[in-house]
Amino acid sequence: MRKLLSVFLCLVLGAFMVSCAEDQVTGNEGGQAVTVDTGPIVVWTWNETFNVKAAKLAADKYKLSHPDADIIVETMEREEIMSGVKNMLSTGVYDRLPDIVMIEDYDAQDMLTLYQDEFVDLTDSIDRDKFADYKTKLGTMDGKMYGIPFDSGTAALFYRTDILEEAGYSSPALIDMTWEEFEEMSRTVHEKTGKYMLTLDPTDMPVVRIIMQSCGRWYVGSDGYTADIADNEPLKRSLDVYQNLIRNDGAKSVNGWNDFISAFQNGNVAGIITGCWIISDIKAVPEQSGLWRISNIPVFADMEECVSASNVGGSSWYVMKNSAHSGAAKDFAVEMFAKDDELTDTLIEEIGLIPAVKDPTIYSNYEAKDPFFQDQKVTKLLSNLADEIPAVNYGRRTYEIEDILEEEFQNVIESGNYDECLKKVEVKAAAVSK
C-alpha cells in the first residue's frame, strides 16, 4: 500500500512539475543556467517608426532562438505610459502591469526615486562599461542599475537642400552657424519660398531644452533640485530665439506631435532641430530621399560655454519586478537590448538608431553612407556630436517645470519681458522641484 501511495505521489509531483515547466524557459546568465517564467511579455513604448519598430524587430529575432516566446508590443504615448505605470504602482494593482516599459531620460530619476523597488535590478546582468556614462547614471539609483540604455537623443539640424537652394543657400552655409545667422536664414527662406524654416509648438519646447543644454545649463542646478531659472542666461536667450522665429515668420506654429510630423513630411518646412530619433519619421517619406542633409546645431557666438552639440529625449528599457512575466521579460530585454550587437547594428540601418554606447565603431553600419541624406555617414556624424554634449543634471521635474514656463511665457511673448517671467517661473519651479 505504501509503495502504491509513493508511486501515486511521484506521479502527481511529476505532473505538477511538468505543468510548471510549461510556463518556464531556461536561459543562461554568467555561465549559470537560470529558469525564468514565460508567457505574453508585454512591452509599452511609443513612436511607431522608431521605438515600437525596434521592439518588434527584437521580438522577431528573440523568437528565432525562443520559439515559444510570446511578446506583445503595445503603442502608447509617453505620458500615457508614465501615468498608467504610476497609477498601478501607487495602488499596488499589478494585474495589468506591463513587463517592460520604455522611460525617457527626463523621467528616469523621478521614477526610480518614487518606485525603485518596483524595477528589476539589472546590475549583474549588464556590462555597464559598454554604455555611455551619462545614460547609465540616469538609469542608476543607490549604485544599482535598472535601465538598459537604448538611444542617444543627440540633437542636430536636419534640412531640405532643395528648399534652401531655392532660397539661395548651399549646404556649407548651415555648418557651424550662430543662432543670429539661423534667424536671418529663416526669414529669408520664408520670404523667397513661402515656406518656414522649422516648426515650434507652444505646448512643447524642445528647442529651449536643446539650447540650454548646449550651454551646460538646465532648469535645475547640478544638485538636481535647486531651480536655476531667473538668472539662467541660456534659458533667457532661448526664449528670445523662440520669439524671434515666430514673430519673423521663421517658424510655423504647430500644435502637437502629429502636426509637427506632418509639417516636414508634407514639405511645408525646410528643416527640423531635434533629436536624432526623428530620422525614422523623416525616412517615412521615401519620395524625399536624397533631399535631406544633417548639420550641427547653431550656437551663441558670444557665449564661450556654448557648443554646437546638445541632447533632447533619449530613452532606456526597464523591466517591472511585479509584472506577470518579469523573469521572461528580463531575459528578453537583456539578451536583445544589452547584449545583441547584431540587432543594434540592424536597428542603425532600419530606424536610424544612434546607440548610447561608448564605442559605436564596433558596428558595421557606423561608417555606412546613407543615400537618403546624400550619402552622409549619419551614424558617425551624430556619434561624434554626442561626444561633445555638455552633461547636465535633469533632476526629477523637467516636464512639470516646463509646463510652468510655457504658461508664463505665453503671457509675455509679445512684450518680451523675460526677466519678470522667469522670476515667476523660478518661484513656482522651486516648489515643484522640492
Neighbours of 91 (CB within 10 A): 8
Q: What's the whole-number mean pLDDT along residues 285-313?
A: 97
Mean pLDDT of the chain: 91
At residue 120, the 3 state secondary structure works out as: coil
Per-residue confidence at 37, pLDDT binned at 50, 70, 90?
A: low
pTM for the structure as a whole? 0.89
Cα dihedral 61, 65, 70, 73, rounded to 10, equals -20
Domains of the chain: 30-152+313-358 (3.40.190.10), 155-311+377-433 (3.40.190.10)
Report the pLDDT value the prediction gives residue 411, as an integer from 0 to 100.
Answer: 84
Which cell goes with 293? 542633409
Report the pLDDT value the prediction gives residue 226, as an integer from 0 to 100.
Answer: 95
Q: Which string of DSSP letters, residue by residue, matches 282-294?
A: HTT-GGGTTSEEE
Q: What's the whole-number mean pLDDT along residues 300-329?
A: 97
**pLDDT at 406 exceeding the cut of 90:** yes
Cα 308–310–312 angle (5° rounding)?
Answer: 145
**pLDDT at 167 exceeding the cut of 80:** yes
- Give the model confidence (pLDDT) of 218-239 as tens digits: 999 999 999 999 999 999 999 9
d(CA 319, CA 310): 28
Q: What's the whole-number mean pLDDT along residues 103-121?
A: 97
Report the pLDDT value the prediction gives residue 410, as an integer from 0 to 100.
Answer: 85
Length of the chain as a residue count = 434
Q: Where are the alpha helices (DSSP H) in 297-377?
A: 326-333, 341-351
The one-letter code for the residue type at 193 is: T
Contact 103, 151 (CB under 8 A): no
Which cell goes with 190? 520664408
